[in-house]
Amino acid sequence: MAYGLEFSEEAVIQLERIDKTTTKRILKKIESVMSDPQNFFKRLSGRPEYKLRVGAYRIIADIDDSEKKVFIRTVGNRKNIYGKL
């Protein structure tokens, strides 16, 4: 069973600021991993959040296995995404 998906307001704003080609690539990647997100998202070291790599971009998310839900917290370039956490 596929997981549900939610985006934070911050993630939506960040996706709107990224060029359209990259945004489409990010969204396509997210859709493709929703059947088993635990297999594709990797846990951040020492933190409860997970990350997903899409080229130079990272998607930071929370995964709730009990409710089968993925909550996308933030999206950004790998150079500065971790400083915002």
**Mean pLDDT of the 44-66 span:** 94
Beta bridge mates, 77 = 57
Beta bridge mates, 69 = 4, 64
pLDDT, position 37: 93
Percent of the residues in the chain that have a pLDDT greater than 90, as a whole number: 87
Domain 4-84 has CATH 3.30.2310.20: yes
Q: What whole-number distance in Å separates Cα of residue 49 and Cα of residue 28?
A: 21
Place of tokens 């359209």: 20
Beta bridge mates, 43 = 50
Look up the pTM and report it: 0.91
